[in-house]
Structure 1
Amino acid sequence: MSIAHQWHALSPAIRSAALDSARDRVGVPELRERAVWESRTASARAAILARADSDRGKPWPHTLLSDFARYWRDGVRTAYEGPAGELRQRTSTAVLAAVLTADEQYVDEAADGLLLLCEQTTWCWAAHESFATARQEVVADPAEPYLDLGAAETVEILAWADLVLGAALDERVPGLRRRLREEARRRVLQPFVDDRRWHWLGLDGHLHNWNPWIHGHILAAALFLETDPATRAQVVELVVDGLDRYLRALPADGGCDEGYAYWWNGPARLASALELLDRVTQGALHPWHCDPLPEVARYPQRMALGDDWYVNVGDGPARPSPRQPWDVLHRWGRRSGDPAVMAQAVAHRKELPEVGLGRALFALVDDDWWQAEPGPLPLPRWSWLPDVQLLVTRQYDGSADGWALAVKGGHNDENHNHNDVGSVIAALDAAPVLIDLGQPTYTAISFSERRYEQWVVRSEWHNVPVVDGKQQEPGRQWRATDFAVRRDAGAEVDLSDAYPTGQLRRVATLDRGEQAVRIVDSWAAETEIAEHFVIAGRPVGHEAGRLVIETLSGGLAELGWDPGLGTGRLETRAVDDDLLAGVWGPAVHRLIIDVGAGRRTFGLTLTRSTRD
């Protein structure tokens, strides 16, 4: 039964009680319940208070019109989104410090941040402010708020702050809570109810991470800030229908075409919203076994290479911050009864996740999470996701040692798409050698018609050939066909439909006996092939048919091919994007081998090397 069916199957009395008593049922106590908050884990408590004390010694971040306008002037998003995010983070930290200590200085700090958020002209990020763009302006109109991720992230802070600090705010700054409710209603709840054209609703069938991300925050705002019962019920009904729409769009294999990094802001956001519904209904809903949620929960372990490296398809870093909200996944595993999911989560336990006041509060009060004993990562020997066409296989079950191989099929109109049909990732001892560059810093062109001017999303900067002088192009019609898994060791895929011309098949395998990865391409005689391989690490040996790379973890990987094809062209490209450089270092490399006429196959073998 779907989430929406479960919700509507509840009696009106149960639904009414869930909404009217949500503050009491959510399981996150307010500041005055000192016994709970003073018993929180010492490491998380110390980290929060250290951050809060550091913040208090600095000026508050300011969001400036000139920075907002840069999106239209020169395409820069971070000039505004950076300080806007710092303001949200500082306010959230102050709320956490206040609830942990009941110290009035932290309550005042939280109140300052909350009012600064209320005083912002817009909560929307410039890149999403299409209302201003339509007016040919760069100044947002407070009378026409745009409901985007920025607005949702901000109202979430107001909602959870009101839940835990309500009485303290009434005592220290009477009237602030009324302002919070007014701003939430005007900027978020009313636009959500009145305008059903928001693209992230997915009413046109195109669903992506904005749906659960925004719906989950609207749910918290409705439960904790909205005082009118009829409006609250209307909002929650719409949220439930929206979340159900997203859930039904998820592939049955549990895959995520937006990749591992966005999994945390897509399916994991859905899990957070469902948990909130589960709590306020006191378990009357049973969402955790709805298809495909049990499979979706396994995605992080299936993408893990080890040592915080991940298979990263689409936008997303190959080595994202390890401080993800792993407690969300742990509770998910507890509710679905999956020990491997719980083991994957607790193996990554840190003080607190980096983002989200609601997620941080849930983590703080989850005693089972803090008491769980970490163990080894449950790295599966192989994982095959047929709906998104992604195979990940490794040399040893449960170990990051040796080679791991990922082979991607799919098509070139996926969410956060890169033109990467047929690309491979090969990692030695967890460290990627053949790489997917991942997400660059977003700018004005990132999601525009000019998206494929970015080098990192073009197929010539993925591990696929250039065919007859042409790269892959964007569009659903450019796809892999006949993707066949070869037991647990590799895949064969037809890439002919991924290119404008030519016929091409690829076989990529992990030979566990030889401890090698092999990539073999074959094509019709009239097809011209230039093989492209994108490489991380430091070249330490290069000759005809051989390239030795010192990997980012200090190992040595050897790439071998027919010496008759010569050395190929080894290019070095400086990485001048901070987000990419944080993963790959100051430079990456590309090996191009022009196969030439008269050949119909090319093979590349990757093995572990020793120093010459």
Structure 2
Amino acid sequence: MRYLFVVVVISLLGWPVCAQQPDLLSGKFSPEKLKTVLIPQAQWTPFPKRDDRAGWAKADAAMMNAYLKKAESYLNYEWPYIPATKSLLIERTGDRDQYQAVSFQKREVLGTLLLAEIYENKGRFVDPIIDGVWSICEESFWGVPAHLPKSKAYAGLMDVSQPFVDLFAAETATYLAWVDYYLGDKLDAVSPQIRKRIYTETNNRIFQPLMTKPHGWMTKTANGRAPNNWNPWICSNWLNAVLLLEKDDDKRAANVARLLDVLDEFLNPYPQDGGCDEGPSYWGAAAASLYDNIAMLNLASNDAFAYVYADEKFRNMGRFIYRAQISDRYFLNFADADPQPGMAATMIYRYGKAINDPDMMRFGAYYRKPEDGTIGKFHYFRNFYALFMQDEFQKAAQGLPLPKDVWLPDLQVFVARDQAGTTDGFYVAAKGGHNDESHNHNDVGNYVVYYNGQPLLIDVGRGTYTAKTFSGKRYEIWYNCSDYHNLPTINGKTQPPGPQFKAAQVAHKAGGAFTQFDVDIAQAYPKDAGVTHWQRSVRLNRGKNVQVTDVISLEKADALTQHLMTCYPAEVQKPGKLLIHYQPAGTPAKDFVVTYNPAQLQASVEKVKLETPEDKGIITKWGDTIYRINLKAVSPKKSDKLMLSVAAE
């Protein structure tokens, strides 16, 4: 049966991997051939139909009971209308959460009700589902106001005459498509207008715009930045919806062919090392969404796309998630990434199994947890895969790889820890790159230090998204700027945004007793900073300390300040010695010493005030405990060598 969780043939046979070729996805089948490869819509059963009770008997009972219990609390759910003034908040106050909270909950309720009706199959949830479908179809925009074009022509409200597809319009199509797939006969028994409305709205809002209009997320930007997670994430929902809803197999195949072209725009420029410049929290919608597309294509084509699992870039894209892990709770969070992202356990396990990576499978299994009826806000279709794999998944071995050294030469990120397979001791990571990465922070040369899997010197990451976050005012937000990273301010200048502000002379050395990352960050600063060279070395001396050495050459030396960010109080004990009072929740307090040359640098500590709407997310992630250490040059020199080390007291 096609919906059972199985290892693809390519993994079973251990076929050799290969380097990724351009147009890996769109180059395999011509549009004409693709139509013969895809299972016709009328014959396609990716998962058991609702009336296939023998098929649904194989679904995990604990999960289904949890969905049923949650759905019963929604039987009298009043489907809310979203007033125009909620949409206008994005322009009036910058708030995006009030609108999104209502919109996202409606879809989550609909998805939960559908799973409950599939399980119980008594019609008890059909009317609430119909109300949900109708309410969502009545919305002016399936997306969110934060994604509307920033122009007076919109001013916070959707132009319904010009539909376009954002992340959550595509997500909405997936919910409606699965309702149609599972409950089509029950909906028709009430009125044929319900399914007609589902297709008409989805065709007008999703299929037609995607087939006829360019969307910015489909390809690189004007300045050459490659597509980010929007590309595969939207495509995964486009794919679900068109495979399920489009009865015209010619149109269906044409949509899939177009979708494969779009996906290759994401995959072709992706680094060969698999590094995700958006970070682990966005990996779940970037590389993972690419996997979602391939998995669904295989369900729709008798594994015609299984060859992708042998591609080395695709495999590296999967492995990134455990290569970027610090500890069970913390992950490397350069740019807008979250330091403690949730892990989609079953999806990660499936991805690992598809590419025949036992470490990734154990990693995914590590994050399994008891079912509570929560379907998640996004990637709804992942729930159906999860339902039919629990016998295997619950018995799967668990473990965290925690590699000793990771080097991603394309992304220019290095990771090193004291010991492989354990969080004991120091962990250090640093980056090169450039300042036009996806979800960019101006952070070329930034590094982080953790100890025993807990933060010590941190990347603050992102706060709450507001209208300001993705606007021309992005770099007015303090945590996006280099002077609130572990970086220098040089002659009063910080790093600007732009692809030309980048790392140079990047190198990596790994030995048994140490690992070192070298990068020249001079080009990351503007010309008027007067930087000829700023050669930074970040070195882990295993079992001992972390050393940061900056060898500098300047055209002028008016002022220099090294910045360090931490989530613990810090104090200058004496010139040349600064203490960070490390005390993660539930662990004994321990002081760490930052040593530096007091003849060169003078230290001070300031607590960062968290008081803006954007700062709410910082408080959620770290608490009101962000401190900036400033090491100011006493007598700046044009040529100098600045050193500091971090060690336990």
Match of 1:582 among 598, 613, 620: 620
Q: Select the residue among 559, 572, 577 that pairs with 2:593.
A: 559
Of the three residues 250, 261, 266, the one matched with 2:281 is 261
Does residue 438 of the first structure (1) align with residue 461 of the second (2)? yes
- Which of the numbers 490, 498, 522 marks the counterpart of 1:475? 498
The answer as to whether partners of 2:593 and 2:646 remain within 8 angstroms in 1 is yes
Q: How many residues align?
A: 601
Render the CA deviation track for 1:518-564: whole Å, top value 9, x for unaligned.
11222137534201011013448854312122243435241322362
SS in 2 for 1:349: coil
Give the whole-Å Cα distance in 2 for the aligned partners of 1:538 and 1:99: 53
Q: Is the 8 A contact 2:405 2:417 kept in 1?
A: yes
| Residues 145-191 of structure 1: CA deviation (Å, up to 9, x unaligned) | 12111211111111122222323333355431111111101111111
For the residue of structure 1 that corresponds to 2:86, the secondary structure is helix
Range that drifts further, 414-423 or 281-290: 281-290
In the alignment, is residue 603 of structure 1 matched against residue 624 of structure 2? Answer: no
Q: 1:412 aligns with which of 430, 435, 446?
A: 435
Distance apart, 1:307 and its partner CA: 2.3
- Structure 1 range deviating more: 71-80 or 56-65: 56-65
Deviations 1:559-591 (A, max 9, x none): 322362676221112434332222101221110
**1:597, CA displacement in angstroms?**
1.3
Amino acid of the structure 1 residue aligned with 2:258: L
Distance, in Å, in 2 between the alignment partners of 1:429 and 1:449 is 39
Deviation of residue 42 (structure 1)? 4.4
Q: Which residue of 1 aligns with 2:537?
A: 507
Q: Work out the CA distance in 2 between the residues paired with 1:540 and 1:34.
A: 66
What runs of 5+ residues in structure 2 fail to find an aligned partner? 1-20
Equivalent residue runs for 1:92-131 within 5 Å:
92-130=111-149
Pick aligned residue for 2:579 from 547, 557, 566: 547
Q: What are the within-5 Å matches in structure 2 for residues 41-120 of structure 1?
A: 41-56=60-75, 59-120=78-139
| Residue in structure 2 matched with residue 592 of structure 1 by the alignment | 630
> Is 2:337 the partner of 1:316?
yes
Check 1:282–1:21 CA distance in 2 against 1; reply closer, same or farther (3 A cut): farther
Alpha-carbon distance in 1 for matches of 2:363, 2:205: 38
Alpha-carbon offset, residue 470 of structure 1: 0.8
1:575 and 1:585 in contact (8 A); partners too: no
Find the aligned partners of 1:419 and 1:61 in 2 and give their Cα distance.
41
Change over 3 Å in CA distance of 1:144–1:523 after alignment to 2:
same
Q: Secondary structure of 1:594's match?
A: strand
1:532 equivalent in structure 2? 563
Residue 459 of structure 1 contacts residue 471 of structure 1 at CA under 8 Å; is this kept in 2?
Answer: yes
Return the alpha-carbon distance in structure 2 between the equivalents of residues 282 and 260 of structure 1.
Answer: 31
Rounded to whole Å, the distance in 1 between the matches of 2:446 and 2:155 is 41
Q: Does the 8 A contact of 2:76 with 2:128 survive in 1?
A: no
Aligned-residue offset at 1:343:
1.3
Q: Is the 8 A contact 2:518 2:538 kept in 1?
A: yes
- Are residues 1:162 and 2:180 paired? yes
- The 5 Å alignment of 1:278-293 reads 278-285=298-305, 286-293=307-314
Quote the Cα distance in structure 2 between the aligned partners of 1:477 and 1:370: 46
Q: 1:424 aligns with which of 437, 447, 461?
A: 447
* 1:141 matches 2:159: yes
Alignment partner of 1:105: what SS?
A: coil
Aligned twin of 2:28: 6
Q: Which of 399, 405, 417 matches 1:376?
A: 399
Gaps of 5+ in 1: none
**Structure 1 residue 601: Cα displacement:** 2.6
Aligned 8 A contact 1:409 1:422 in 2: yes
Structure 1 residues 53 and 538, CA gap change in structure 2 (3 angstroms): farther
Aligned to 1:30: 49
Bigger drift between 166-175 and 334-343 goes to 166-175
8 Å Cα contact 2:571-2:578 kept in structure 1: no
Q: Secondary structure at the match of 1:5?
A: coil
Q: Per the alignment, in what secondary structure is the counterpart of residue 159 of structure 1?
A: helix
Q: Give the structure with the higher percent helix.
A: 1
Matches of residues 319-338 of structure 1 in structure 2 within 5 Å? 319-320=340-341, 322=342, 324-338=343-357
SS in 2 for 1:400: coil
Q: Secondary structure at the match of 1:361?
A: helix
State whether residues 389 and 483 of structure 1, in contact with CA within 8 Å, keep that contact through their aligned partners in structure 2: yes
Following superposition, the deviation at residue 62 of structure 1 comes to 3.7
- Write the distance in 1 (CA, Å) between the matches of 2:48 and 2:290: 23
DSSP 3-state at the match of 2:268: helix
Deviation at 1:264, TM superposition (A): 1.0
* Alignment match, 1:198: 215
Q: 3-state SS of the aligned residue for 1:517?
A: strand
Write out per-residue CA displacement over residues 184-225 of structure 1, whole angstroms, 9 at most, x where no aligned residue: 011111111121x21111066631111111111111111111
Inter-partner Cα distance in structure 1 for 2:293 and 2:217: 16
Deviates more, 1:417-426 or 1:57-66: 57-66
Contact 2:31 2:253 in 1 (8 A): no
Cα distance 1:181–1:470, how it changes in 2: closer, same or farther (>3 A)?
same
* Greater RCO structure (CA 8 Å; 6+ sep): 2
Corresponding residue SS for 1:446: coil
1:520 corresponding residue in structure 2: 549
Q: Residues 396, 238 of structure 1: CA spacing in aligned structure 2 closer, same or farther, 3 A cutoff?
A: same
CA distance in 2, matches of 1:329, 1:99: 25
CA deviation vs aligned residue, 1:467-525 (integer Å, no higher than 9, x gap):
111111111111111111121512111111111222311111111142x1111222137
Question: Does structure 2 retain, via aligned residues, the 8 Å contact 1:379–1:398?
Answer: yes
Find the aligned partners of 2:220 and 2:564 in 1 and give their Cα distance. 40
Determine the C-alpha separation between the residues in 1 that align with 2:423 and 2:34. Answer: 51
Root-mean-square deviation (Å): 2.3
The answer (yes or no) to whether the contact 1:537–1:588 under 8 Å persists in 2 is yes
SS in 1 for 2:28: helix
Distance 1:524 1:567, change over 3 A: closer
User: Could you tell me how far 1:57 is from its partner in structure 2?
Assistant: 5.7
The answer to whether the 8 Å contact 2:602/2:633 transfers is: no
Distance 1:597 1:268, change over 3 A: same
Name the % identity: 30
Q: What is the CA distance between 1:345 and its match in structure 2? A: 1.1
Per the alignment, in what secondary structure is the counterpart of residue 307 of structure 1? coil
